[in-house]
Structure 1
Amino acid sequence: MTRRHLYHLAGLNPGLEPHPTDAQAHPRLRELLQQSAPCAAFVLSPCLDLLAANPPARAVLSPLGEHPNILRALLTRLPQSVFFTDRQAVADACLSALRENATHLPDDPGIQDIIAELADRSPGFTAMWQQTESAVPFRACACACAATVLHPVTGPLTLTYRSVGVPAAPGQRLVVGAPAPGSRDAEALTFLTAMTAPA
């Protein structure tokens, strides 16, 4: 039983910060992140903790909290109808990514912790996790995919996401979400970024 799982059994939440072993995004991914504006770009750890985000991504993901884990937010924190309009598709993609990371990084403590935590806290996690054993590997699904969020400031916001990793940081992924040029979504992302920028 992992330390994080013991915390949750005690009613505590150690998951507000990224796992210590994953707490730094790789410098190359940070460099790519900084070059991604005005798109929304963020870096995920092998256990899908948010390690870094540019201002547009921080604005888009702000309803998830300061240091979210994407799967934890999807499966334990968000009401069923809130934020992602196709919640199951996003959850499936995240579970496939976590499954691949668990296969290639079997001793990663962050991955072990989040699996144990979600098995305890999310009623549907175990069944969904078992289904990923026969799913198409995440790397084969790394083409662009669109996802829509219902943001409390802008309303529906659709971005097309792509992800990339670097060999020097196994399991870390830079995810970049771009709106269609000239669309309402592009205007909404620009507005949202400006609204949430530090004064």
Structure 2
Amino acid sequence: MDRAELGAFLRSRRERIGPADVGLPLGPRRRTPGLRREEVAALAFISTEYYARLEQARAPRPSREVLAGLSRALRLTDAERDHLHRLAGAPPSTAPGPPREVRQSVLDLVHRLPGAAAFVTSATLEVLAWNDLAAALMEDFSALPRRDRNLARRAFLGPGAEGRGLYGVSDTAAFARHAASRLRTAAVRYPDDPEVSGLIRELLDGSADFARLWAAREVDGGPTVRKTFRHPLVGPVAVNCDALELTDRDQQVVIYTAVPGSSSEEALRLLSVIGTQRMTTPG
């Protein structure tokens, strides 16, 4: 535990927050920037004396409960919260399972890409968020129960299982390798999560393809830079594939874009109008 640095860090975080940021009145004769020590202590549900001793580098090591209260009171970011724990000699514990909550800024990004199909996946390839064009190109994820939004389960056990190609994509084998390698990494990162182990058992029992890939023990499926969807309404749609890693959440933002001026760009533009509605041909 680095008492001096812990105290200095707490003080710096306290001084950057104004009373209005935490719903407190400004009040008269406030001489110091930010919150008072007693205000932080009240927000963190600890005594003012103990908080003062923390800032003065005179307190014993705080518990994880105290650190959690201070993180909330001081509005710490994820990185700042982890730093606080390490200064206190209590490194943050590993998440029991893959994080499923998507940051609001990431949700905003996904929905501000009208010309691209974009979605967010967890460490186990569960689709957590998507924009309208992704739903039109792939499927309406909002109409599926949560378990069926998992791309690995859909690829190996679903409608496009065993080599037929999920969503009619051209890179069936490459995606299968990618899925198996991501799940192997997830199994190591989250060894105690029953959803991760349950998904892997389900795939091993139900898919010979997955069992073969799992036995190969690959941990780097390699990126796919281009693929073609065979869409039932607009035909082939060739897209470039980019995946942005969100390392703090163990998530990926996947973005599909078409070459400007191509027939695939026109197909995506048509899909953005059609959406997820079903179109039938008379007669």
Normalised by the size of structure 1, how large is the TM-score? 0.75
The equivalent of 1:178 in structure 2 is 257
CA contact (8 A) 2:242 2:255 kept: yes
| Cα shift readout 1:22-73 (whole Å, capped 9, x = no counterpart) | 5432334323212333110001111111111001101111178635211111
Shift of 1:136: 5.7
Q: Which consecutive aligned stretches of 4+ in structure 1 deviate over 4 angstroms post-superposition? A: 20-23
Q: Distance in 2 between matches of 1:72 and 1:191?
A: 29
Where does 1:88-107 land on structure 2 (aligned, <5 Å)? 88-107=173-192
Shift of 1:128: 0.8
Matched, 1:157 2:242: no
Where does 1:41-190 land on structure 2 (aligned, <5 Å)? 41-62=118-139, 66=144, 67-79=148-160, 80-82=163-165, 83-131=168-216, 133=217, 135=218, 137-138=220-221, 141-142=222-223, 145-170=225-250, 172-190=251-269
Q: Distance in 2 between matches of 1:63 and 1:86?
A: 21
CA contact (8 A) 1:40 1:54 kept: yes
Q: Distance in 2 between matches of 1:147 and 1:125?
A: 21
Distance 1:166 1:127, change over 3 A: same
Where does 1:6-17 land on structure 2 (aligned, <5 Å)? none
Q: Distance in 2 between matches of 1:137 and 1:34?
A: 29
CA contact (8 A) 2:118 2:133 kept: yes
Secondary structure at 1:25 match in 2: coil
Shift of 1:119: 1.0
Q: Distance in 1 between matches of 2:201 and 2:130?
A: 26
Secondary structure at 2:208 match in 1: coil
Q: Distance in 2 between matches of 1:70 and 1:30?
A: 19
Unmatched segments (≥5 aa) in structure 2: 1-96, 278-283
Distance 1:192 1:114, change over 3 A: same
Secondary structure at 1:57 match in 2: helix
Percent identity between the two aligned chains: 27
Q: Distance in 2 between matches of 1:46 and 1:99?
A: 10
Shift of 1:115: 0.5
**Equivalenced residues, count:** 173
Shift of 1:84: 1.6
Q: Distance in 2 between matches of 1:121 and 1:61?
A: 23
Shift of 1:137: 2.5
CA contact (8 A) 1:71 1:94 kept: yes
Secondary structure at 1:124 match in 2: helix
Higher strand share: 1
Q: Distance in 1 between matches of 2:99 and 2:249?
A: 10
Normalised by the size of structure 2, how large is the TM-score? 0.55
What code does the residue aligned with 2:234 have? T
Distance 1:154 1:21, change over 3 A: same
Secondary structure at 1:156 match in 2: strand
What code does the residue aligned with 2:196 have? I
